[in-house]
Amino acid sequence: DVKVTQSSRYLVKRTGEKVFLECVQDMDHENMFWYRQDPGLGLRLIYFSYDVKMKEKGDIPEGYSVSREKKERFSLILESASTNQTSMYLCASRSDRRVTGYTFGSGTRLTVV
């Protein structure tokens, strides 16, 4: 079974902390994405990557950065966490061949206090 794995299901961090959210996929997908999911707002794209060391801003990149040093791993970094970054964060991946849709991880519920 293909997998996108997000390292933490729940995280609680303090305001101002640097936070790392990790995502690993085992499908050799070129494209990886980070979304945040908020009630009434749906999924909003933060960053995406179409290759190792490549990254592109999505719709709401402010306050976030990403890292893709290996094909299978895509990390989301909150440089200085703030309470308005409390959210569910979803990672997704897809192959360039587009044989299937986007595969999602189970999400990380981040609470910033």
Partner 1 sequence: AQRVTQPEKLLSVFKGAPVELKCNYSYSGSPELFWYVQYSRQRLQLLLRHISRESIKGFTADLNKGETSFHLKKPFAQEEDSAMYYCALSRSPGGSYIPTFGRGTSLIVHP
Q: How far is the CB of 73 from partner 1 (least distance, A)?
A: 18
Instruction: For residue 26, give the DSSP letter.
Output: S
Q: How far is the CB of 92 from partner 1 (least distance, A)?
A: 8
* Contacts (Cβ under 8 Å, ≥6 apart) of 69: 52, 53
d(CA 101, CA 84): 30
Which residues sit opposite 66 in a β-bridge? 76
Q: How far is the CB of 49 from partner 1 (least distance, A)?
A: 11
Structure tokens at 28: 């050799």
Nearer to partner 1, 31 or 75 (CB): 31
Nearer to partner 1, 15 or 100 (CB): 100
Place of tokens 């999602």: 104
User: Would you tell me which residues interact with partner 1 (CB under 8 A)?
Assistant: 31, 33, 35, 40-43, 45, 48, 50, 56, 58, 90, 92, 94, 96, 98, 100-107
Nearer to partner 1, 74 or 81 (CB): 74
